[in-house]
Amino acid sequence: MIEGYDPVIAGMRCVTDFAAVAPDGQVFRNEVEFDAVAVTGGVLCENGRWRAKDGSSSGTTPLRVLIRDDGRRFRSP
């Protein structure tokens, strides 16, 4: 399960910290950074790069998040 995933726009990036929680309750703290691209009606966060807070792993994500001008967020499945 993913917890605390709430990207915000920071300049030309969208960023957030989040936690991945394993079925056994173990918590993995991470951060993700996306490119922020202006689109009609908001900002599209794409080309995500994540990394573990402890430096143990990193990778990319196909997830995209649209942050509308009114603040609502929509994620790809």
pLDDT tens column, 23-70:
999 999 999 999 999 999 999 999 999 999 999 999 999 999 999 999
Which H or E element spans position 60?
A: strand 58-61
Distance in angstroms between the alpha carbons of the first and the last residue of the chain: 14
Average pLDDT over residues 69-74: 95
Full-model pTM: 0.86
- Which residues form the domain of 37? 2-75
Please give the distance of CA 56 from its chain centroid, rounded to a whole number: 18
Total domains, the chain: 1
